[in-house]
Amino acid sequence: MSSSSASERARVLVVDDEETIREMLAEFLEMEGYWVATAPDGMAALTVLEDGDIDLVLSDLKMPRMGGITLLEQLAKHAPSTVAVIMTGFGTVETAIDAMKLGAYDYLLKPFKLDEVLHVVERALQKKRMEEENMRLREAVSLYEVSEAISASLSFDQVMQTVTDCCLGEVDGDLVSTWLDSDGSYREQSRELSDRPPAGGTDVGEIDPQAVLKGLRSGPLLVHGDEANEFFEGGTTAPLSSLLAVPMMVKNRLLGFVLVGTLRPRKRLQEGQRKLLSIMASRAAAALENARLYSNLQDTFQQTIQGLARAIDKMDRYTAGHSERVARYAVYLARRLDLGEEQIRVVQQSALMHDIGKIGCAVNLNKPGKLTDDEYEVFKKHPVYGKDILSPITFMHPLIPGVHLHHERYDGRGYPLGLAKGDIPLLARLMSVADSYDAMTSNRSYRRSIPHEVAAAEIERCAGSQFDPELAKAFLDGLDDYREGCIAAGLPVPE
């Protein structure tokens, strides 16, 4: 190690009340290439530690003012990344165990040989380097995985769950609590505990958000022991070993904060974990802001679609409300099929838009009686017109299969393309059932509505020809319960 540059030299602090031992060890370790400081007792050692980073403390066990055991306790609180080796002339199994429990890497019995000292110091520093390298690797992997997961999500819940999972896993917390600003009042969004129940229990009580926010004014918060428990209203019956809190900021605006606590005795969070959580919270804040903007965009999109749907229905007084009813039936069927929420959203919006092509039909939809053959041929083009209307609008593209193909038949005799069975997109097969049921149970210019039971029987009869038989069955099997739910909610249902 003697050839290492000064910037690469490990920093060692020798603590012993015997001046001869301090000077001997300092001289020897400096000859081996280490940077060395000395202190006559634990109190003086803490002063040295405050002045700069120390990689290793080589400390006597018995000293005036502050001995080695107390110094170990202080190291755990204020310099948890510093590795410690205890020297003692009172070597017993009990003192060694006490020192190791408090975090000492190893111990040396006086009198010792200098090559023994060098061997222990080298092993201790090697352990520290490996831990730091592992931490850096874990941070890099975690940041990549979390960034990927967060960037891929536009959901508040998914972003917060990703943050929580990382805090329990990579940050190694026992308690994770996330808070978001809600019109100036901070509310806890989630709280999760690890699957490692500590001996002291998990009843930590209620977090005091104002106390946390006050602590965050000067930056991320990392405290230990009694100080960690001051951030709970009325204290906590399950004392924390460490508490780490970091803000989630976007353009100097505080969105909320993430709090991580450890409940395991002597499990103290460190600076590396603070850095990891700070970076992760920054990414999460950006993702939450994107999710908010996306949600606003979705709201605007939904309002636009509903407005267009009402405009379409106004064209035909007999089909007023048809698009919204079809949307309700389509969403009901989509839930029966266990589709995901994003798919259900597309189903609902496509149903609202399914007849938009009627805008391009130059026929009188309100005329008494049925359409003529020529008029019907023009009317049959409305799915194509609907596709043409939506095609230039990129964010409407997911809705097009339901708009363009909802008049296809399972047996291939539908229009406009004559597709059959699985060649018809699920969205269009689903829309066909919902649209047909509402068409049968609604008044039209050329006929009166038919009763619910008759319409249901017709769907059953046409399963396998007009309708996908599995979708028809799913629609009918839950229809009575669905109707009861609508009645309870005050929504109209066909007689």
Nearest to 474 by CA among 334, 344, 368, 272: 334
With a pLDDT cut of 90, the percent of the chain lying above it is 37
Question: Can you read off the two tokens belonging to residue 187?
Answer: 């509310």
Task: Supply φ then ψ for residue 306, to 5 degrees.
Answer: -65, -40
For residues 256-268, average pLDDT: 85
What is the model's pTM? 0.55
Q: Using the predicted structure, report yes or no on whether residue 483 has a pLDDT greater than 60.
A: yes
Q: Using the predicted structure, report yes or no on whether residue 289 has a pLDDT greater than 50.
A: yes
Residue-wise pLDDT for 393-443, tens only, equals: 888 899 999 999 999 999 999 999 999 999 999 999 999 999 999 999 987
Residue 228 has a CB neighbour count (10 Å cut-off) of 23
Query: Could you give the angle at which helices 114-151 and 156-169 cross, rounded to 10 degrees?
Result: 170
Residue-wise pLDDT for 140-190, tens only, equals: 666 666 666 666 666 777 788 888 887 887 778 888 999 998 888 889 988
Q: Using the predicted structure, report yes or no on whether residue 72 has a pLDDT greater than 60.
A: yes
Please indicate whether residue 371 or residue 5 has the higher confidence score (pLDDT).
Answer: 371
DSSP 147-195: HHHHHT---HHHHHHHHHHHHHHTS--SEEEEEEEETTEEEEEEEEE-S
Question: Which helix (H) or strand (E) is 456 found in, with range?
Answer: helix 452-461
Per-residue model confidence (pLDDT) at position 6 = 36
Strands (E), 251-392: 253-262
Q: Using the predicted structure, report yes or no on whether residue 199 has a pLDDT greater than 60.
A: no
Query: Poorest-confidence range of 14-28, 170-184, 185-199?
Result: 185-199
DSSP 221-237: EEEEGGGGGGGBTT--S
Is residue 233 very low, low, confident or very high in pLDDT (cuts 50, 70, 90)?
Answer: confident
Q: What domains sit in the chain, N to C, each tagged with a CATH number?
A: 6-133 (3.40.50.2300), 153-292 (3.30.450.40), 315-488 (1.10.3210.10)
Contact between 437 and 459 under an 8 Å Cβ cutoff? The reply is yes
Please indicate whether residue 228 or residue 399 has the higher confidence score (pLDDT).
Answer: 399
Contact between 255 and 288 under an 8 Å Cβ cutoff? The reply is yes
Highest mean pLDDT among 191-200, 270-279, 468-477: 468-477
Please indicate whether residue 381 or residue 96 has the higher confidence score (pLDDT).
Answer: 381
308 CB contacts (<8 Å, ≥6 apart)?
352, 353, 356
Per-residue model confidence (pLDDT) at position 312 = 74
Please indicate whether residue 71 or residue 135 has the higher confidence score (pLDDT).
Answer: 71
Give the integer Cα–Cα distance in Å for 179 and 166. 16
For residues 10-23, average pLDDT: 91
For residues 59-67, average pLDDT: 88
Long-range contacts from 415-418, C-beta under 8 angstroms, 24+ separation? 415/380, 415/383, 416/380, 416/381, 416/383, 416/384
